[in-house]
Chains A and B, each alone.
Chain A
């Protein structure tokens, strides 16, 4: 009886282990197979294309080895696209981080009208990106820009006039002064175009990041909140010494998502500036599209696109490691 009793626990564990593995495989299997088929297959074909001189029309070409990759690197437009991709991503996500952090922190307090304010803040994320970008194209139009209108016209109803462009000129920014009769060309000046693209990216991702931060703030256990209150840490001190460190893992996740959304996005630049003026606002994705589709050099386009992958991989892996490390501590 004792011998039998001792044999049973071992078999139970083995069963359980077998079960877990098989069950895990069955549950994970479909997703993995699906991804392999739909992402893996086309990805392999794209890699093949990048090693050929395929041109518009055929998915086949002559083998050219790594020529497309080296040629791309020699092209100043490509280097600018690479630089812009990093620039857009870093700057817009920095803006998002700061703004979303502030907004989320302010939203945790139950003030009146919070629901409406939250609704307004969510709007940019709810709008389909292709359509809202078309709207931004009109907002930044060379002649009818409402931004310029707001800057240049008296926006204070009644008596005293308030001209925003005078306020901006008064502030010590290193850019030139705004002239009322030659207002800024948001999509035509090379620097301003970059700013315009960054603003649209940041605008649409801020609500998304706010939500993620709210989640993070909500997850702070009440014991910590109480402890902070007892210690007298409120307002900014609380923010800096309590909230911020605890927010770090979730902030990393938010930034990671934002980075991926921005770096892999083609729609905003394609619709807003088309890569212009004169390829000064190209990103890797749009430059790849221009080279591959508009110019018909499929192989080169694929190569340009593929440069994006290792970049993102490294960033993603680093951020995930960081998030995990911070979480544990």
Chain B
């Protein structure tokens, strides 16, 4: 055949045109519906669907023995100075305090990546609004009008309608997701026995919650605990323990307090009670509430849980309400099971505070741990000691967690997470690959090398607040 003459017949050409047209038509028909995986899993506003590889289950993936679980006193954590002193001694605290102050100055002078003058200023300044003036309240202050003020009846809806409504509101105010669990004879133990200010939480058969000198009262009718999450910047947290990571954490606390206050006021406005956090990390333990409400699974880090899309790169808050809500079931995405084989956080922790045991157990490490969970209990004294030796908040464990991935590369949400959800046999391999692919870039001193290699200060056009609020949501105009 002559190579200058086309061998495509008229028939074949028209067939080709037809096929191409059909293909284009199919592509265009499908294209506007799903632009990416996020839109496949997101559904209409207010209804929260888990990513497709997440299963709903009846019990959290971390086993709980309610019979041995006590009510936990919030003053026992290492964040409560008297308890830290009890654990390490006053002399050690003073030494660490002096070291912390000295390190700060030294690193500023050395221009240490992540601890320069502007890093410190960034971190400290972000605290404005929460620690530095924005309060939370146990009982809603009389700010918004109640239904009575408008001669209206209080809002009534089904439990499903109410949850949907609260999600829509919470999402608008700044929360990423909310989950709900109901307080019963067992789950009441997720409420602290005492708050850090010394006041006891007491359940009583009353209509309205109140607060007096010694105690904060929770009516039995206020039995719905709403856990909500605030996103943090993965890019900044991956620079732990540099100050950028703490800045995004501080911003999270800010947002959490704002959202808590607003939700509380909204509930007041529709005629219901909302008992909100009057200080940070109050009322209910997050590591208990999040697995119970299906927002996350327990993790080896134990101080932090794992959410299917964002891993540990978010912050959680809560309030208690009497608005009838349908509880959201615990989830199983194979994440707590992944921790068994992974151990990257334990390996990376500079103070070896995280357990390296393969199997979780009920054995606690110290009074900062709450008994009753088959868990990887951590050493709070070692952890907090390193916070003082480095930067308050550290977060190196979160930096190296394989679930702390973004979603631009399909490997995370399309391969690793779905496979880990179904079977554990590749978990060890995935954990090794995580290191091999350079996702954990840790120096000899335990600090992330990310800031050194690519300074956060040089990132142009980062998303607002440092995170992608459209991830897994309906991208409305």
Genuine A/B complex: no
Binding site for B on A (CB under 8 A): none
Binding site for A on B (CB under 8 A): none
